[in-house]
Structure 1
Amino acid sequence: MSISSSAPDKSLITGLLLAGGRGTRMGETDKGLQSLHGEALALHVLQRLTAQTATVMISANQNIDVYKEFGFPVWPDHMQGFAGPLAGIQTGLLHCQTPYLLCVPCDSPFLPPDLAERLLSALMQRDADLAVAVTLEKRDGIQQKQNHPVFALMKTSVLAGLTTYLEDGGRKMQAWHASLQTCEVMFSDNTAFRNINTLEELRKIEN
């Protein structure tokens, strides 16, 4: 299905930076606060996110005062116990004052500048609850679809269902997506969704 050329109104969208994890693959450090070219990873993401949304908030469970210095509201998970990114999204939805919430991870500094526009266009045209980014990845010489579930835009009305899913013990992002009317939006640049998971990867990108 073709996407309309008229850009949706970004005033409809709140951005949510997901920085609430423990950073276990980065030696238990706070990934969002690791330096890339002299600035925290989270700041690189925020610069791209703020250009696409009406307002932004941060999901964080540690170093909250440091994240507050970036100039945006910071919310720890409503659900206790580091329940994963869905708990951060639930908290974001609880505080969202716009019809739509766009979530992105704090360790992906190259996110597309048209991410919000394309996801919202698809969600509206396909009458979906949630739109998620996908790319094509080559594995063993074969192009295969790669879902990027943390790069998602959703209606705030999904909050009740997400809360029930979490309270029932659900933690898997894609399983929750499967319970919704979800549409996929294909992006050609798979490097835009690259996650920096280790300090080695971070230094490699920096060099």
Structure 2
Amino acid sequence: MVNHRNNTPRTKVSISGVILAGGQGQRMGGVDKGWVPYQGVPMIERVVSRFQPQVDELIINANRSIDAYRALGLQVVPDIEGGFQGPMLGIATGLQAAQHDWVMFVPCDGPFLALDLVEHFYQAACESNAKIVVAADGEFLQPMVVLLHRQLLPNLLQALEEGERKPDRWYASVGMAKVVVDSDSLRNFNSLDQMNNV
């Protein structure tokens, strides 16, 4: 079980959180990235400790190491279709499993997640009236750090059925707001070399 803080800013509405841990980890040699240790602590535990205080329920989307993820005391949901079909399927799975209308997604390999991330994204959603709020680092979108409204689930399922697998392209087709986030808090690891150089 992971210990959590209680002094993190919270939104006035209930928000579900989903950690995307369902990938193949190809650029890390096929390992399950959530369980790769960073400074002696598995990355999934670092993400949970920073993310869980910001949301009202926390779900992990994973396609392997299911029992290990469940041992964290969280709900774990595998993709609604098998075959490691990419993060859009994980997002659809998370939207289906979530109890609340707004759902915040983050990757399992982002151990520096901002402690006020969800608050900023929900504020941007209110100000823009957008149903999709996605992170940007000032130059590029970071499509795995995104707040979505569950109303978009039918649209997303339709896009998947039509073969769409690129989240940023789907976001653009629906309409999105962007939140510029400090690049350090968005830093994730796609290789062991990257991790060792931090």
The AA in structure 1 aligned to 2:191 is T
The question of 1:193 aligning with 2:195 is answered no
CA drift of 1:7 comes to: 6.3
User: Does residue 89 in structure 1 map to residue 83 in structure 2?
Assistant: no
Confirm whether residue 105 of structure 1 aligns to residue 107 of structure 2.
yes
Contact 1:13–1:54 (Cα < 8 Å) also in 2? yes
What's the secondary structure of 1:179's corresponding residue? helix
CA distance in 2, matches of 1:181, 1:123: 12
Q: Which residue of 2 aligns with 1:53?
A: 55
Partner of 1:140: none
| Structure 2 match to 1:142 | none
Match of 2:11 in 1: 8
Take 1:116 and 1:182, find their aligned partners in 2: how far apart are those partners? Answer: 16
Instruction: Mark the runs of 5 or more structure 2 residues left unpaired by the alignment.
Output: 1-8
Q: Which residue of 2 aligns with 1:164?
A: 158
Superposed CA RMSD in Å reads 1.4
**Separation of aligned partners in 1, 2:21 and 2:137:** 23
Measured after TM superposition, the shift of residue 202 of structure 1 is 2.0
**Contact 1:130-1:177 within 8 A present in 2 as well:** yes
1:153 aligns with 2:155: no
Task: Give the Cα–Cα distance (whole angstroms) in 1 for the partners of residues 197 and 172 of structure 2.
Answer: 35
Deviations 1:146-204 (A, max 9, x none): 211110001011100000011111100111101213101122x2111111111122223
Q: Measured at CA, do residues 199 and 7 of structure 1 come closer, stay the same or move farther in structure 2, by a change above 3 Å?
A: closer
Which runs of 4 or more aligned residues in structure 1 lie more than 3 Å from their structure 2 counterparts after TM superposition? none
Gaps of 5+ in 1: 1-5, 137-144
Larger radius of gyration: 1
Question: Which of the residues 39, 42, 56 maps onto 2:41?
Answer: 39
- In the alignment, what sits opposite 2:5? none
CA deviations 1:85-129 (Å, max 9, x no partner) are 111111111111111000000011111111100111111121111
Q: Is the 8 A contact 1:7 1:121 kept in 2?
A: no
Matched position secondary structure for 1:74:
strand
- Paired residues of 1:129 and 1:182 also in contact (CA < 8 A): yes
Aligned to 1:68: 70
Q: TM-score, normalised by structure 1?
A: 0.88
Secondary structure at the aligned position of 2:112 is classed as coil
* CA–CA distance in structure 2, aligned partners of residues 196 and 176 of structure 1: 24
Cα deviation, 1:7-53, whole Å, max 9, x if unaligned, reads 632x5211100000011011111011011122210110111110110
The one-letter code matched in structure 2 to 1:60 is A
